Amino acid sequence: MPYSLEKLEELSGGDQDFIVSVVVVFIEETPEDLGKLEKAVQAGDFEEVYKHAHKLKPNVDLLGMENSTALMRRIEAKAKEAIDIEAIREMFAKAKTEVGDVIKELETDFGL
């Protein structure tokens, strides 16, 4: 499974309404956040890349998306050091695909 609700369930104390609301916010806001990160990556703007990766990281982590979280951490680290924009572009492409797939799966799993 590309995502896990384990952290979210622990945080919510099993409150299903809270879990659904977090999932809905994730589905609604993440595409825009990814778009901002993509724009920064394409522009080679390390400061903006760092800012947007830093914002996305806890959101994907909360949904147990381990690979995407690791990618965001690496993107964030390289952007902070202002190095290797090509590696950042490759990692972003993988993260974008993974997060997009999870959004589709969440929509299906939660009937949204």
Name the token pair of 11.
């945080």
Percentage of the residues of the chain whose pLDDT score is greater than 70:
99
User: 67 vs 19, 76, 96, CA distance in Å?
Assistant: 21, 14, 11
User: 53 vs 7, 17, 45, 109, CA distance in Å?
Assistant: 20, 28, 12, 26
Say if 15 falls within a structural domain. yes
Say if 86 falls within a structural domain. yes
Q: What is the CATH number of the domain that holds 43?
A: 1.20.120.660
Say if 88 falls within a structural domain. yes
What is the per-residue pLDDT across 34-56, written as a single tens digit (0 to 9) for each?
A: 999 999 999 999 999 999 999 99
Name the token pair of 21.
């609301």
pTM for this prediction: 0.91
Print the domain residue range for 98: 6-109
Count structural domains, the chain: 1
Say if 23 falls within a structural domain. yes
Q: How confident is the model at residue 2 (pLDDT cuts 50, 70, 90)?
A: confident
**Please, are residues 78 and 19 in contact by the beta-carbon 8 Å criterion?**
no
User: 60 vs 55, 67, 82, 86, 111, CA distance in Å?
Assistant: 10, 9, 23, 22, 20
- Tokens 């994730």 correspond to what residue? 26
**Please, are residues 65 and 26 in contact by the beta-carbon 8 Å criterion?**
no
Say if 1 falls within a structural domain. no
Say if 32 falls within a structural domain. yes
- Tell me which of 12-16, 25-29, 47-51, 90-94 is least confident: 12-16
Say if 46 falls within a structural domain. yes
